[in-house]
Amino acid sequence: MQHAEITQLSATELSRAIHDCRLSVTAVMGAYLAGIERLNPSVNAIVNIRDSDSLLAEAAACDAELKAGSSRGWMHGMPIAIKDLCEVKDLRCTYGSPIFADFVPKEDEIMVERIRAAGAIIIGKTNTPEHGFGSQSYNPVHGVTRNPYDLTKTVGGSSGGAAAALSAHLLPIADGSDMMGSLRNPAAFNNVVGFRPSYGRIPVSQKLELFMGQLSVLGPMGRTVEDTAALLMTQAGYDPRDPHSLPAEDLMPARGRDFSGARIAWLGDLGGYLPFDPGVLELCQTALPVFESIGCTVEAVIPDYDMVDVWQSWTTLRSWLTANGMRDSFDDPAKRALMKPEIIWEIERGLDMTGREVHFASKRRSAWYKYLLTLFERYDYLVLPSAQVFPFDADTHWPKEVGGRTMDTYHRWMEVMIPASMAGLPVAAMPAGFNSEGMPNGIQIIGRPRADKAVLDLALAYENATDWLNRRPKL
C-alpha cells in the first residue's frame, strides 16, 4: 500500500489493518513521517517532532509485539501528536510561550497516560496559540499554523495544529481542549470533527487548582465521528486525581439509530444578537434539511434570555480564572514582558474583580443553565453555527469587525461558542460545507447535560447523510 493510501485510512480502519497484519506499524509510521516531511513545513501543524529513527524503532518494537501475539490496545503503534498545552513526560511542552520554551515535563497528563496505554506512539506536539488564548494558532515559539485548504488562511484555535494535522492527513487522530470553542472552531475551519465532551468526562491532573476552573475541557478530534468517539472512549473515565471526573460508560455512537421525531432547535444568530460575516449563516442553514432528511423536525428558536448577561458572566469568570491561574508569571516583570497583550488584558481585568462579582457571575451562569433545561424539555438537540466568520488571513491576530459590527474584545468574534461552554454541555462540531472560495465552516450539535452519546449518535447520522468529511484539501 502506498503512503497516500495509508494516510487516507481512518483511525479505526488503520487499527483494523494493523491488527489484521495487513499493514505493519513500521509502514504506517513511515507513511506519516513522509507526509510530515513533505507538508508540515508549509502547514506548521506539528511541533517538537521527535527523531524519526527513534520513532521507527518504536514502530518496529510494536510490530514485534504483534508478531508475538500481543497488542497494547486499539491504538497499537498509531502515531499521534499531543496538543502543546498538555504535558507529556520527557517531551518539550512550550504552551506556545517563550516563558516555557525549554520546559520538559516529568510526568504525563492522565489523558496521555491512557493514550499511551492504548498503544499510541507519541511523535510530537500540535501547535496552539500562546497559552491557548485566542482562536488563531500562532505563537512566538513555533510561529503560525496555516490552513491546508488555503495556506494564507488561519486554522482557528486553540486546537488549530491538531485540526490542521488531521485535515492535511499528517495524523490519523488528534486530541485537543476547549474553553471557548477551541475544539469546535478549528474543526469548522479545517473540515474535521471536534467534540467538546461534558465537563468531567475526561479527567485532568495537571491543574494546580482542581475545583473552580469548570469552563475548559479536554476532548478528541477526528476525520470521522467513529474515530472521534473511539479516542473519547480512551480519554474518558473516572480518576480520583480529578474530583469532578465522571465514571466510564459506552460512548460509541449507534449505527442506524432512528431519529424519526427527534426535535432540533435551530438557534441561528440568537434572534439577531450575534453578527455573522456574509455567507456563514446561510451555509450553516444548509445543514438543516440534512437533519430533516434523517427524520428530525427542525424549528427556528430565539432564546427568551438576555444573551448580554451570558457574555458578561462568561468574561468575568474567564478573566478571573486567568488572572489567578497565571498570577505568578504576571508578577515577574521579565516573564510579563514575554506575554502577548491579550493575556495581559485578561489578567489585569481579572485582578480587579471582587469575590462578590465572581459569585454574581456564577449565579448568572447557573441561571443560564436552568434556562437551557427548559429548552431541553421541548427539544432534544440545539444547533448553532461553529463560527461567525470564515477562515481569515493567517497574519491577522483576530477579526476586529464581524458582519459590520466592531468587536470590543479579542475573543468577541467567538461568542457563538459561549452558550454551550457556559453550561458544560456536550457538543459535536460537524462540517456544513464550503463557500465559493473553497473555505469550510460548520455547525455545533449541542445535547442535554451529559448526553454525550446521544450527541455522537446524531453526529454519526449527519455524517452518513453528507459527504463533507470525504473532501480533503489539495496540497
pLDDT tens digits, residue range 414-433? 999 999 999 999 999 999 99
pLDDT band at residue 357 under the 50/70/90 scheme: very high
CB 17 within 8 A of CB 9: yes
Does the pLDDT of residue 208 top 90, yes or no? no
CB 444 within 8 A of CB 384: yes
Catalytic residues: 83, 158, 182
* Mean pLDDT along residues 114-131: 98
DSSP 280-335: HHHHHHTTHHHHHHTT-EEEE---SS-HHHHHHHHHHHHHHHHHHHSHHHHHSHHH
The CA–CA distances, whole Å, from 342 to 345, 347, 398 equal: 5, 9, 11
Task: Give the rounded percent of residues in the chain with a pLDDT score beyond 90.
Answer: 99
Reduced to 3 states (helix: H, G, I; strand: E, B; else coil), residue 410 is coil
**In the prediction, which pLDDT does 206 show?**
86
Q: Please, is 54 exposed, middle or buried when counting C-beta atoms within 10 Å of its C-beta (0-12, 13-18, 19+)?
A: exposed
Reduced to 3 states (helix: H, G, I; strand: E, B; else coil), residue 374 is helix
Cell of 452: 454525550
pLDDT tens digits, residue range 30-78? 999 999 999 999 999 999 999 999 999 999 999 999 999 999 999 999 9
Residues 296 and 263: their CA atoms lie apart, in Å, by 6
Query: What mean pLDDT is reported for the chain?
Result: 98
pLDDT band at residue 207 under the 50/70/90 scheme: confident
pLDDT tens digits, residue range 360-369? 999 999 999 9
* Mean pLDDT along residues 233-252: 98
* Mean pLDDT along residues 107-124: 98
- Which range (6-15, 178-187, 199-208, 376-385) has the least confidence? 199-208
Which DSSP category does 393 fall into?
A: B
pLDDT tens digits, residue range 439-464? 999 999 999 999 999 999 999 999 99
pLDDT tens digits, residue range 277-312? 999 999 999 999 999 999 999 999 999 999 999 999
Task: Give the rounded percent of residues in the chain with a pLDDT score beyond 70.
Answer: 100
Other beta carbons less than 10 A from residue 318's beta carbon: 22
Residues 164 and 43: their CA atoms lie apart, in Å, by 7
**In the prediction, which pLDDT does 1 show?**
85
Of the candidates 50, 85, 170, 62, the one whose C-alpha atom is nearest the C-alpha of residue 472 is 170
Reduced to 3 states (helix: H, G, I; strand: E, B; else coil), residue 122 is strand
Does the pLDDT of residue 8 top 90, yes or no? yes
What long-range pairs does 303-306 form, CB within 8 A, spacing at least 24?
Answer: 303/267, 303/270, 303/271, 303/371, 303/375, 303/419, 304/371, 305/368, 305/371
